[in-house]
Amino acid sequence: KAGVTQTPRYLIKTRGQQVTLSCSPISGHRSVSWYQQTPGQGLQFLFEYFSETQRNKGNFPGRFSGRQFSNSRSEMNVSTLELGDSALYLCASSLGPGLGTGELFFGEGSRLTVL
């Protein structure tokens, strides 16, 4: 079956703009998580959605937001982009909450460059 699909794969924005990234989970998976990877901070948890509800949120400013639709697809948005937001944004899907988020499967990521 198809894996986790993220779009766009690459994008370039300028400071102050906003960006929306999309993630389609594996069919049947209802939980979607987002992670940010930078050379300095490594991989960090952004947020997790299940059944259109945000379950958990990492330690990121309010400029980072997300949502999940009824078909489990998710989007994340970053407003008022800063240079430090340049990163690889990874989406992961899992079956859903049990004890924790369960086994996660990651997409190929969206690489954002902010100029």
Interaction site with another protein (CB under 8 A): 33, 35, 37, 42-48, 55-56, 58, 88, 90, 92, 97, 99-109, 111
CB of 99 to another protein, least distance (A): 5
CB of 24 to another protein, least distance (A): 15
Nearer to another protein, 67 or 102 (CB): 102
Rg (CA), the chain: 13
Nearer to another protein, 39 or 62 (CB): 39
Distance CA 28, CA 77 (A): 24
What are the angstrom distances between the C-alpha of 107 and each of 62, 80, 110? Answer: 24, 25, 9
Place of tokens 């989970």: 25
